[in-house]
Structure 1
Amino acid sequence: MLRKLALGLVACALVAGCKGKQTQSDQAIETLPTGGSTQIDTAPLAYDAMGSDSGKIDGLVSVFFGYDKSNLDAQAKKDIATNVQWMKSHPNVKVQVEGHTDSRGTIEYNVALGERRANAVKAYMASLGIASDRLSVISYGKEKPLEMGETEAAWAKNRRANFVPAQ
């Protein structure tokens, strides 16, 4: 009985000690330095938050890929050229290229494939004159399907890179 009581007290002391350390690190957070402009641009972008997959960003189109492919075919290059023209006419907008896959394959494999797709699109856009610092990439793998289902038509719609403003 005494042994159980001693173990309980030790456990409580450890928890209390950890809580104290956590509070100290939380208190160590300071405000950001005030070098440069402190104004924040609060004007919202006039685009649908869902991105080009919503069909509501006039001028940006999704790029589609073949099964297990990250290379750009002729249609993909044409679609990317359309997006490059849009970006050139909107020079202050930064864009995030989102890579997606269909539902086949492991999570790890699909995240890597989505990243290869997004990076292929970014590299081609940069080769057409868009500054790399205006482009970022992210891969969602199979986690954000455009169309649910286990059919070739659904899979084809989900193998894509789409574009969202990242400003």
Structure 2
Amino acid sequence: MAFRTLSLFAAVLLLAACETPSDQTGTVSGEGAAGKSSSVDRGSTGTTATTSTPKRPLSTILTVDVGDRVFFEFDKYSLKAKARQTLERQATFLKNNAGVKVVLQGHADERGTREYNLALGDRRANSAKDYLIALGINPNRITIISYGKERPAVAGSNEAAWSQNRRAVTVISEGAGS
């Protein structure tokens, strides 16, 4: 008998917990962007739910929104127009995030000697650094390193892979904790 009463009581609780649908002709406000709050008005129910979207890490913003890498032609370290556009967006990002310091990593494809590619990666990183400095970024906020051919982004021995490996990558080293 006690089991039957307990089962009946549990069933009543489950049914009571179910809410009947109400008229949810609500409005949504807020921008919903990273770090912004948004509120939802549930219409006639009179309830308002407020949620806060977590802020995206600066490293994600740099990589996804701004662009963290520029590419070079074979055996070159001069910046193409597209690379300059990416670096201009990076300069704006750095100006808007004054506490951020970056490392510019220079890379090369697999062709050539290790020593030659380390030197070429260094020249590529310096080209990007010089352009950022020309755009008003303090040189003390930029460090360079060359990996040469030691850290390919794409494995392969063809032009498609090589073109992705001839690059300079901007990585946040300090100040990303906001």
For this structure pair, what is the TM-score category when the shorter chain's length is used for normalisation? 0.5 to 0.7
> Residues 85-115 of structure 1, C-alpha deviation per residue, up to 9 Å, x if partnerless?
1111111000000000000000000000000
Kindly state the Cα deviation for residue 61 of structure 1 after the two structures are TM-superposed: 2.6
For these two proteins, the number of residue pairs brought into alignment is 119
Where does residue 132 of structure 1 map in the other structure? 139
SS at match of 1:164: strand
Where does residue 71 of structure 1 map in the other structure? 78
Contact 1:112 1:141 in 2 (8 A): yes
Where does residue 111 of structure 1 map in the other structure? 118
Where does residue 86 of structure 1 map in the other structure? 93
Contact 2:68 2:171 in 1 (8 A): no
SS at match of 1:76: helix
Kindly state the Cα deviation for residue 48 of structure 1 after the two structures are TM-superposed: 5.7
Cα distance between partner residues in 1 of 2:58 and 2:122: 24
Contact 2:66 2:86 in 1 (8 A): no
Classify 1:48/1:61 alpha carbon distance in 2 versus 1 (closer, same or farther; 3 Å): closer
Aligned-pair Cα RMSD in Å: 2.0
2:157 counterpart of 1:146: no
Q: Which ranges of structure 2 fall in alignment gaps of 5 or more residues?
A: 1-55
SS at match of 2:66: coil
Q: Which has the higher strand share?
A: 2
Q: Paired residue for 2:108, among 96, 101, 107?
A: 101
Compare relative contact order (CA 8 Å, sep 6+) and give the higher one, 1 or 2: 1
Contact 1:61 1:82 in 2 (8 A): no
2:57 counterpart of 1:46: yes
Q: One-letter code of the match for 1:105?
A: G
Kindly state the Cα deviation for residue 60 of structure 1 after the two structures are TM-superposed: 3.4
For the pair shown, the structure with the greater C-alpha radius of gyration is 2
Moved over 4 A (4+): none
Where does residue 41 of structure 1 map in the other structure? none
Identity %: 44
Q: TM-score, normalised by structure 1?
A: 0.67
Kindly state the Cα deviation for residue 127 of structure 1 after the two structures are TM-superposed: 0.2
Cα distance between partner residues in 2 of 1:142 and 1:136: 19
Contact 2:72 2:78 in 1 (8 A): yes
